[in-house]
């Protein structure tokens, strides 16, 4: 018992000291004006020290991807800090490979500006913009997924690659937060950004989006993301998604058939039950017009009484395994939960798709 008291007392002292240090740093330490140098003089900035690198860049309209809103839990805000970033923190190491640490890659949300700091930011990220838009329509796709369509105001056009995402600004009791959502509308709809949003009970971003009504204003940054489609139409495209992982697939497929009406593309979409099915009729209609488009939906749960289903059953990686021949030049785009991505990746690699031709976003 005495031992437990001692541990509890020690724990309390550590918490109090840590809180004291945070408060002291916040209110007493003045780092003064620090220099923030981007890409060796390309964009020199001067700013008040003491904030995170992510927040300081945002304040200067440089929008680094930050899917978790700066909580240090997504690993998306990686940039190279050549000097002035201090040592790598334990909160960063789970997201950095040894190679990245050696190359001075850091999580911008964990690095605090305390002195002059020198960073490298890829050109593409310097071109990310802040958009204002208006909700044009909202529609229930399933019991938990909504399609939300925005018309852009300022700027009034977006240049996106299919598979990219935006970060929506959502209000929270602790101030505004950002959450990542893939763009579901095709790249040729330049004035529109459409999303498929699954509600997470109690979730800040998804609840905010589900409560939006026609005419409401929204703010977001983007586009972000590493998906790059092979421009050679002889390379087949394989899209695999589950749940709201449909959004980037919808964008990719409509963009493909706008540009290459004869290109071969496979869509594998995993659902638990019939209640999770959406866009199937639209894709069947598209496949009628484009015979090289193959649509495969699979249900993983048993059918309920009286339910009828003539598509695939079982997990979606099994449907991909069954339908795809090996040895065909292909590129693949996957979106969904980590276990699905892992299982599908194994199948696709067995079919001969190279790891560098498999792009994925886990969510």
Region near ligand FES per CB under 6 A, out of 62-70, 157-165, 253-261, 268-276? 62-70
75 contact choice in ligand FAD, ligand FES, none (CB below 5 to 8 Å, kind-dependent): ligand FES
Please say which residue, 106 or 330, places its beta carbon nearer to ligand FES.
106
251 contact choice in ligand FES, ligand FAD, none (CB below 5 to 8 Å, kind-dependent): none
Among 74, 121, 229, 238, binds ligand FES (CB under 6 A): 74
Q: How far is the CB of 17 from ligand FES (least distance, A)?
A: 26
Q: How far is the CB of 209 from ligand FAD (least distance, A)?
A: 8
Among candidates 356, 347, 297, which has minimal Cα distance to 325?
347
206 contact choice in ligand FAD, ligand FES, none (CB below 5 to 8 Å, kind-dependent): ligand FAD
Region near ligand FES per CB under 6 A, out of 71-79, 208-216, 280-288, 332-340? 71-79
Tell the residue number behind the tokens 């015979």, with chain if given.
Answer: 291
Output the DSSP codes for 118-149. Answer: EEE--HHHHT-EEEEEEEEEEEESSSSEEEEE
Report the distance separating Cα 252 and Cα 187, nearest Å.
8
Cβ–Cβ contacts within 10 Å for residue 162, how many?
A: 28
**Greatest alpha-carbon span in the chain:** 76
Q: How far is the CB of 241 from ligand FAD (least distance, A)?
A: 10
Please say which residue, 49 or 225, places its beta carbon nearer to ligand FAD.
225
Report the distance separating Cα 84 and Cα 161, nearest Å.
34
Residue environment code for 47-86, b if the CB has 16+ CB neighbours within 10 A, otherwise e: bebbbbbbbbbbeeebbbbbbbbbebebebbbbbbeebbe
Please say which residue, 72 or 222, places its beta carbon nearer to ligand FES.
72
317 contact choice in ligand FES, ligand FAD, none (CB below 5 to 8 Å, kind-dependent): none
Q: How far is the CB of 306 from ligand FAD (least distance, A)?
A: 30
CA distances to 39, 46, 159 from 122, rounded to whole Å, are 8, 20, 17
Size of the site for ligand FES (CB under 6 A): 12
Residues 6+ apart with CB under 8 A from 193: 131, 133, 149, 150, 152, 158, 166, 183, 185, 220, 222
> Where does this chain bind ligand FES (CB under 6 A)?
66-68, 70, 72-77, 107, 109
> Where does this chain bind ligand FAD (CB under 6 A)?
67, 74, 165, 179-182, 195-198, 200, 202-207, 244, 247, 361, 363
């Amino acid at each position: 018992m005495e031992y437990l008291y001692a541990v509890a007392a020690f724990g309390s002292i550590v918490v109090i000291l840590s809180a004291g240090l945070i408060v002291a740093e916040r209110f007493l330490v003045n780092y003064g004006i620090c220099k923030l140098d981007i890409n060796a003089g390309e964009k020199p900035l001067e700013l008040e020290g003491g904030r995170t690198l992510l927040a300081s860049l945002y304040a200067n309209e440089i929008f680094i991807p930050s899917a978790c809103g700066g909580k240090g839990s997504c690993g998306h805000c990686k940039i190279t800090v050549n000097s002035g970033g201090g040592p790598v923190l334990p909160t960063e190491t789970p997201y950095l490979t040894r190679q990245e640490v050696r190359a001075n890659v850091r999580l911008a949300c964990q690095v605090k500006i305390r002195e002059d700091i020198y960073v490298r930011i890829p050109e593409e990220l310097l071109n990310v913009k802040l958009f204002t838009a208006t909700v044009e329509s909202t529609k229930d796709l399933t019991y938990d997924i909504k399609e939300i369509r925005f018309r852009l105001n300022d700027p009034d056009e977006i240049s996106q690659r299919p598979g990219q995402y935006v970060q929506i600004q959502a209000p929270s009791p602790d101030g505004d937060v950002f959450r990542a959502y893939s763009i579901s509308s095709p790249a040729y709809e330049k004035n529109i950004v459409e999303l498929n949003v699954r509600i997470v009970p109690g979730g800040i971003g998804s609840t905010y989006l589900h409560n939006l009504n026609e005419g409401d204003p929204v703010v977001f940054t983007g586009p972000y993301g590493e998906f790059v489609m092979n421009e050679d139409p002889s390379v087949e495209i394989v899209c695999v998604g589950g749940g709201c992982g449909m959004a980037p697939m919808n964008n990719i497929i409509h963009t493909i058939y706008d540009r290459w009406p004869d290109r071969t593309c496979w869509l594998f979409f995993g659902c638990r039950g019939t209640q999770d099915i959406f866009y199937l009729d639209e894709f069947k209609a598209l496949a009628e017009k484009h015979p090289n488009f193959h649509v495969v939906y699979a249900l993983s749960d048993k059918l309920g009484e009286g339910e009828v289903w003539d598509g695939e059953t079982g997990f979606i990686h099994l449907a991909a395994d069954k339908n795809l021949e090996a040895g065909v030049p292909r590129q693949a785009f996957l979106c969904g939960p980590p276990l699905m991505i892992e299982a599908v990746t194994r199948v696709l690699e067995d079919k001969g798709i190279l790891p560098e031709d498999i792009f994925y976003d886990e969510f």
